[in-house]
Structure 1
């Protein structure tokens, strides 16, 4: 008997059938990957399981007992713990304090004192239960990303009743070394008998950490395989997800020569972040910059966009030296940044598609201080079609869209701006394979008329999309490999800091 059995689950939102007769099983002591493109139905299934949505039809059993999950509290009482993709933690509190946030009092009562010693004692007992190497007396804001993710997981597991853990894209912002630390914790939890549902867009991770995987497409479960079985049979997960033989995710490189230099950095240095960075970005090609998290990649992107001031070196746009003192100046000059953290730096999550799309070019979106509502709606609709936004609901707030579709809106902003230089930072974090292919195609389209720079900690992404590449290691550029460089050359330069 499976720990979790979901049978015949159906869910509709108006005329849209999000789930159709879905079955799903989960065993105790199993890591089960849940896969599918954005909109395939996996998020809806998880929200039903976590009590956020109510199912329309079907049954849910845990350890053989049928349960009704009509609210998040009912899910928690049933032993289901959820860690969202962007867990909310309080930075100036310790790890232990974050774990027991809301349960600080040793005794019930509004005016019961908070006992710091008791919190540490409970945290120690939790680590006895799940032996993990982490300093929970450290403030969360001082922790590396993987430790913050572990704190969020321990917060979800703080109740002894937890039997099922749902992890939503937990590795999206982790380095390779941090990812291994997280996987070590997941194996520890599995050994304790915990069942883990693991949602990821990084398909290579499925074969590294999961025992089984289930694929959703169009609101239906289309496949469920054991990882060992899938590896032996050479089953293609992308083909299952896309209902077709997955073609090349990256668009073909141009055969014509690149055009003139549009944007150039010469000896750009910012103490503690990056040093002596030089490159030339040309119209008609894509320049790729690969660097691990902490390599200075994010700081360099902000310096190129005027959000950070370099200590020395210079920037040149169309051959003229420029010094951006703010992002507004960079935008006005024709430089557009698609930031790595789209939720906090690229979008207004409470506002709709029209507002977000036109935000980067208010001169075009308004006349005499008044917004052009009709024209802006038409422009937003055309851009939504161009980036293949799904669903194409212009009045929906951005928080209601998937990560991939949020990224498409950021790109639509750039298209509306009609810039001369586009800088993409971590452009496909949390984005499924179908949306990635569309985003890469848009990058290639933009490169025909503008200079495009892609900066990413995903070596496969940089190598696959770029015509020329640079590696950034601890803030220092490592060579400028030629077109004949291999992925392994680029990876070695970014990880070891050595040109091959």
Structure 2
């Protein structure tokens, strides 16, 4: 069937609600045989929820799904696979402790004897696995454990398993996030081959370059709703970004303003910093008394860079210098000892300890820096907590209130207090205003500006480009895991968008 023919898969009016949150509202999607269809949207747009509805993880509250014109309603991923819908995830969900061949044929092993028999025909398993992988231009030892191969090979094996199931639709959820450029090229060569054979491919990604390299059409989601469906050849990168973020901009009218002219001393310098599958080599400089904004679409490498700077991940290349001296950060503990602090993107999973009190959460980082043999007394913890509750305007009945009972904005302020208590020289803030109300956002941003005014160096990461533009003294723009450009303070949101879209900075 041609990619211009009748859709092989149709989703019509799909809606899904979770505990008062409307995750999807009246979403439509059509996928044709012999095409790669990109599903695009920012964090929270509804992409993952839509895939989970499609593959039977969640049940839609409203709407219908059709495969080959027939209604479907899979109750589980296993049922979805049985009717021809296979998904390959960013984190390959196969068994690393089994062989490549065992992973491909698990649940479908050929057997000896009459009526299928009961003994697995291992010779046929391994031979058929080699034939199937050869179709994908992959020649490997199929008897080796899957976990001994790199992620790129594991993804190929997952695709081979989907082909064995005679899938009509292949769903790829962020398949290139952990691959290098050569591995991406190899994957795309395979996708082009499968497309030519008539397979319908739904490709979920955050990388704009990949969309324009491989996709025939694009569906954009925003805030759980479909913005539109477009031919890739008729939607340029600025227009795609506008559709994703909900604001129009024109690169030709982006106005850059001059910097404030204040010469600030470099505090932390990274040269050629890189980590395979996360960040391409880049240079970045953080200066004392300055807010450096880090902008880019989700998946551009912002959080990955922050993790490298704070010692949460180890770089493969490059060097760090603190006040001109070479710096090694094997762990976040070493980062804290050198005066670095970081509020992570996911405050519930990586930030707050919900069952501990506000007082204990605020004292946590300082206590960790002091070590286990220099315990802070409850009185010192109380004094510390009361100082920051007053300074940051944290709304709580008292310092002993469990932090999990506070609003999101007050939890974020408490995390800020935790790190300010360590008197850092550099504070890394990853999405500090996400999920909090407008008033709390303004409070946080006012505090950041005041901290920089007091000499603190701040790395401010946000998906909200207007926040980055308003708050930052300089803006580093990330794109496709690379530093795409650097803009002076006062640059417009349109200027940032232009660099994200590929214009020179």
Distance in 2 (CA, whole Å) between partners of 1:30 and 1:16 is: 33
Deviation at 1:71, TM superposition (A): 2.2
Residue aligning to 1:32: 37
Equivalent runs, 1:73-152 vs 2, <5 Å: 73-91=78-96, 93-101=98-106, 103=108, 106=111, 116-127=122-133, 130-137=135-142, 139-152=145-158
Answer yes or no: is the 8 Å Cα contact 2:218–2:229 preserved in 1. Answer: yes
Tell me the secondary structure at the aligned position of residue 86 of structure 2: strand
Residue aligning to 2:364: 362
Residue aligning to 1:224: 229
Tell me the secondary structure at the aligned position of residue 150 of structure 1: helix
Return the TM-score normalized by structure 1. Answer: 0.63
Answer yes or no: is the 8 Å Cα contact 1:250–1:464 preserved in 2. Answer: no
Q: Are residues 70 and 115 of structure 1, via their aligned partners in 2, closer, same or farther at CA, if it must alter by over 3 Å?
A: same
Tell me the secondary structure at the aligned position of residue 262 of structure 1: strand
RMSD: 5.5
Tell me the number of residue pairs that the alignment of Structure 1 and Structure 2 aligns.
411
Residue aligning to 2:401: 374
Deviation at 1:8, TM superposition (A): 2.1
Equivalent runs, 1:458-497 vs 2, <5 Å: 458=479, 461-465=482-486
Residue aligning to 1:450: 457
Deviation at 1:54, TM superposition (A): 0.9
Tell me the secondary structure at the aligned position of residue 464 of structure 1: strand
Q: Note if 1:158 corresponds to 2:164.
A: yes
Q: Note if 1:196 corresponds to 2:201.
A: yes
Q: Are residues 136 and 156 of structure 1, via their aligned partners in 2, closer, same or farther at CA, if it must alter by over 3 Å?
A: farther
Distance in 2 (CA, whole Å) between partners of 1:195 and 1:229 is: 21
Structure 2 alignment gaps of length 5 or more: 1-5, 274-281, 295-303, 368-375, 386-398, 435-440, 462-475, 489-498, 500-505
Kindly provide the CA deviation profile for residues 424-481 of structure 1, in whole angstroms up to 9, marking residues without a partner as x.
Answer: 9xx89xx9xxxxxx9xx99x968772265999995775243588xxxxxxxxxxxxxx
Kindly provide the CA deviation profile for residues 381-433 of structure 1, in whole angstroms up to 9, marking residues without a partner as x.
Answer: 336667xxxxxxx9xxxxxxxxxxxxxx9x99878866323579xx89xx9xx
Residue aligning to 2:10: 5
Aligned residue among 291, 294, 305 for 2:311: 305
Distance in 2 (CA, whole Å) between partners of 1:267 and 1:78 is: 48
Residue aligning to 1:68: 73
Residue aligning to 1:241: 244
After TM superposition, the structure 1 stretch with the greater mean CA deviation from structure 2, 29-38 or 259-268, is 259-268
Return the TM-score normalized by structure 2. Answer: 0.63
Deviation at 1:198, TM superposition (A): 0.9
Deviation at 1:67, TM superposition (A): 1.8
Distance in 2 (CA, whole Å) between partners of 1:308 and 1:226 is: 40
Structure 1 alignment gaps of length 5 or more: 269-276, 289-297, 387-393, 395-408, 432-437, 468-486, 488-500
Residue aligning to 1:329: 334
Distance in 2 (CA, whole Å) between partners of 1:266 and 1:84 is: 33
Distance in 1 (CA, whole Å) between partners of 2:164 and 2:352 is: 35
Deviation at 1:300, TM superposition (A): 13
Answer yes or no: is the 8 Å Cα contact 1:262–1:451 preserved in 2. Answer: no
After TM superposition, the structure 1 stretch with the greater mean CA deviation from structure 2, 115-124 or 76-85, is 115-124
Q: Are residues 308 and 163 of structure 1, via their aligned partners in 2, closer, same or farther at CA, if it must alter by over 3 Å?
A: closer
Distance in 2 (CA, whole Å) between partners of 1:25 and 1:180 is: 26
Tell me the secondary structure at the aligned position of residue 187 of structure 2: helix
Distance in 2 (CA, whole Å) between partners of 1:92 and 1:335 is: 39
Deviation at 1:32, TM superposition (A): 0.8
Tell me the secondary structure at the aligned position of residue 462 of structure 1: strand
Tell me the secondary structure at the aligned position of residue 157 of structure 1: helix
Answer yes or no: is the 8 Å Cα contact 1:37–1:241 preserved in 2. Answer: yes
Answer yes or no: is the 8 Å Cα contact 2:343–2:351 preserved in 1. Answer: no
Deviation at 1:332, TM superposition (A): 3.3
Equivalent runs, 1:150-299 vs 2, <5 Å: 150-160=156-166, 162-231=167-236, 236-246=239-249, 254-263=259-268, 281-283=286-288, 284=290
Deviation at 1:254, TM superposition (A): 4.5
Q: Are residues 376 and 2 of structure 1, via their aligned partners in 2, closer, same or farther at CA, if it must alter by over 3 Å?
A: same
Equivalent runs, 1:343-422 vs 2, <5 Å: 348=349, 362-363=364-365, 368=378, 374=401, 376-377=403-404, 381-382=408-409, 419-421=424-426
Answer yes or no: is the 8 Å Cα contact 2:291–2:452 preserved in 1. Answer: yes
Deviation at 1:122, TM superposition (A): 2.5
Q: Are residues 314 and 146 of structure 1, via their aligned partners in 2, closer, same or farther at CA, if it must alter by over 3 Å?
A: closer
Residue aligning to 1:43: 48
Answer yes or no: is the 8 Å Cα contact 1:163–1:195 preserved in 2. Answer: yes
Tell me the secondary structure at the aligned position of residue 98 of structure 1: helix
Q: Are residues 309 and 39 of structure 1, via their aligned partners in 2, closer, same or farther at CA, if it must alter by over 3 Å?
A: closer
Q: Are residues 465 and 127 of structure 1, via their aligned partners in 2, closer, same or farther at CA, if it must alter by over 3 Å?
A: same
